[in-house]
Structure 1
């Protein structure tokens, strides 16, 4: 039976282009599991819908495959970063459920 709930700690990082985006990379073992059991449900850009909890904040979003990092990345929006006092380089405890 495929897992649909995961918990992990990973560092928040910033990707800069014309706008700054903030992400947490899923651990490789979890990313492999998501790809194997849920990748067939992927939508545009290979995205997989998820429900996420960080601290007291819960929201729905998608994770996206990042071929360069060989994992999925989870975008962390500004309201979550502010509410949970998250800054780049800081570890983030994440609970993630495949939606």
Structure 2
């Protein structure tokens, strides 16, 4: 299993019509290329999901969880959603730098 570690800002997306918000870290550049290579190499064939997403294990600080990464057309990278329980446990806030390790 390959791991990548990135540090990027935590950002919020909110729909104009829905009350809730989603928080993400964007994986870009060379780390995104490594995610893409894992996706097309067949490494993820049994874990591919809708929207071109793939299941991964993620870790921030002492917290780890299973989630999916999603292709992000605007940046050419991947979006990693960070759920509320992880943000709370690790004291994360919008705009703050987050170091995350993703196991592919």
TM normalised by structure 2 equals 0.85
- State the partner residue of 1:56: 62
Inter-partner Cα distance in structure 2 for 1:37 and 1:20:
29
Inter-partner Cα distance in structure 2 for 1:23 and 1:97:
17
Pairs within 5 Å for 1:1-99: 4-17=2-15, 18=18, 19-39=20-40, 40=42, 41=45, 42-98=48-104
Contact 1:11–1:92 under 8 Å retained in 2 = yes
Matched residues, number: 96
Unaligned runs of 5+ in 1: none
Inter-partner Cα distance in structure 1 for 2:58 and 2:89:
14
Deviations 1:31-50 (A, max 9, x none): 11211232453321111111
Shift of 1:27: 2.4
Over aligned residues, Cα RMSD in angstroms? Answer: 1.3
Unaligned runs of 5+ in 2: none
Shift of 1:68: 1.4
Shift of 1:4: 1.6
TM normalised by structure 1 equals 0.89
Contact 2:12–2:23 under 8 Å retained in 1 = yes
Deviations 1:49-98 (A, max 9, x none): 11011011010000000101211000000000000010011000111101
